[in-house]
Amino acid sequence: MNRRQFVIAGGAVVTLGPSLLMEGCSENPKVLLNTIIDSIEALLKVAEANAPWSATLQAALAALKTAEATWESGSSVQVVIDALNTVEEILDVIPETEVYAPLIAVLVSGIDAVLTLLVPANALPQVARRSVHYSGKITLRKPKFYQNKVSAYKAQWNELASSLNLTAAKI
């Protein structure tokens, strides 16, 4: 598995490992980002409307959509990275006891994968933060021979949503 290492002040090394979703990725990052947006929208469909984090996540989703819409390939991705980091910080406050928590773990793995793809190899590690509660809880599957990485992510998401009886969360 490819890993990115960053040397920070004092000589400490921070290693960020991409999820299996991005391994050998040659897909359009915007397609991957839009799949993350779809996942957030699906999560909001099944979440309690009056949850204390719901309005904040909706605002972060709007900011992410704006960042995605204005980002052009080859231009700076910092606004997109910041928006993804904000979404991940909000998701991190959602209790792991919620029925949709496993979906959040898949979503966070997807966000981590997209961040790994977008963060330049020479960037400082602060650029991409990781969820305290949900990072590493679920490993994204490698695509089957007939799937691309996005369809493998969607299949994993949808199978999990079905197993949780959250069919409204399918993407």
Task: Quote the tokens at residue 162.
Answer: 């079905």
Q: Output the pLDDT for position 16.
A: 38
Q: Output the pLDDT for position 118.
A: 81
For residue 76, the one-letter residue type is S
Q: Which of 12, 4, 36, 27 is nearest to 119 (CA)?
A: 4
Task: Quote the tokens at residue 50.
Answer: 């009056």
Distance CA 121, CA 115 (A): 11
Q: Output the pLDDT for position 18.
A: 41
Q: Output the pLDDT for position 123.
A: 61
Question: pLDDT truncated to tens, each residue of the chain (171 aa)?
Answer: 333 433 333 443 333 344 444 444 456 788 889 999 999 999 999 998 899 999 999 999 999 999 999 887 667 788 888 899 899 999 999 999 999 999 999 999 999 888 888 876 666 555 555 556 787 788 888 888 777 889 999 999 999 999 999 999 999
Sign of the alpha-carbon dihedral angle for 96, 15, 122, 143: negative
Q: Output the pLDDT for position 47.
A: 92
**Predicted model pTM:** 0.77
